[in-house]
Amino acid sequence: MPLLDKLERTFGRLAISNLSLYLVIGQVFVLLGRLLELVDVSKLLFVPALVLQGEWWRALTFMFVIPLPDSTLGFVFTAFGWYLFYMMGNALELFWGAFRFNLYLAISFALTVALAFITPYSLVTNLFILGSVFLAFAYLNPDFELVLFFILPVKIKWLALIAWAWNVVTFVRGGLADRLQIGASVLSFFVFFGADMIRTLRQGRRTAVRRAEKAVEQVKPRHVCFVCGKTDRTHPQLDFRYCSKCAGDQCYCPEHIQNHEHVVAADDRKAG
């Protein structure tokens, strides 16, 4: 993408390497602070109305707040979620480079924060922003396998379809705040992958057309009797032949190869 190339040349030096790792570390410290009662998480949550009252840090700190696990199993899944986010974020950074990965998250983050002020008293989460990393990784690596519950291997493309379906259901059934947050994260995804998806759809359409044409050619008869219209498809047992005295390649079935009026070329008819 020429625009991204230009932005990277201009601002690439400002990129933060290992951004996904820093996000995970920040979430770990906030979670530990909550468990040790050293952190008042209510001061970190993003409520646009409170930001407008001067508590500007909330527009940043909410990225480090995750739901508090309520069981040992919950902590296990939280740790697994951190591992997956770091692994996928690191993979995207290696694929794109630090600047583009930063930009991908920054677009989703900035849109989420900006659109949140439309519903200033709603609580804004980082769920959809962080989820957009999963969607990007799944798009680029659809056959990557995850082992669910440590026993069930599943290709990530199927989990991504479930995530997209969940986004759609939440968008339809949720409130305006939910719709704005989903829209912000999804827009970031389409900024990076929209053009590629359109090209894929066009190529798929062209491939489908070629397959249809090939299928038509495969069922199209090779021999058609000029007189009666019988074909090698409808009458495969017949031996079709071509008349050397007829103008053009005129085909005839056995019944009419010796019993037909010869086709005369237009020039010969004029001369006659």
Residue 199, pLDDT > 90, answer no
Q: Which of 77-81, 153-157, 205-209 has the lowest mean pLDDT?
A: 205-209
Residue indicated by tokens 């680029």: 140
Residue 253, pLDDT > 90, answer no
Q: Is the dihedral of CA 120, 125, 126, 128 positive or negative?
A: negative
d(CA 172, CA 56): 31
Q: Residue 69 — very low, low, confident or very high, per pLDDT cuts 50/70/90?
A: confident
Domain-wise residue ranges, the chain: 2-205, 222-272
Question: What pLDDT digit, counting tens, does each position of 148-173 carry?
Answer: 766 778 888 999 999 999 999 999 99
Which residues share a beta bridge with 146? 154
**Region 253-262: what's the mean pLDDT?**
81
d(CA 267, CA 80): 83
**Region 58-77: what's the mean pLDDT?**
89
Residue 108, pLDDT > 90, answer yes
Q: Residue 129 — very low, low, confident or very high, per pLDDT cuts 50/70/90?
A: very high
Buried b (16+ CB within 10 A) or exposed e, 203-233: eeeeeeeeeeeeeeeeeebebbbbbeebbbe
pLDDT at 101: 93
**Region 191-198: what's the mean pLDDT?**
84
Residue 203, pLDDT > 90, answer no
pTM of the full structure: 0.73
CATH of domain 2-205: 1.20.1540
Buried b (16+ CB within 10 A) or exposed e, 121-157: ebebbbebbbbbbbbbbbbbbeebeeeeeeeeeeebe
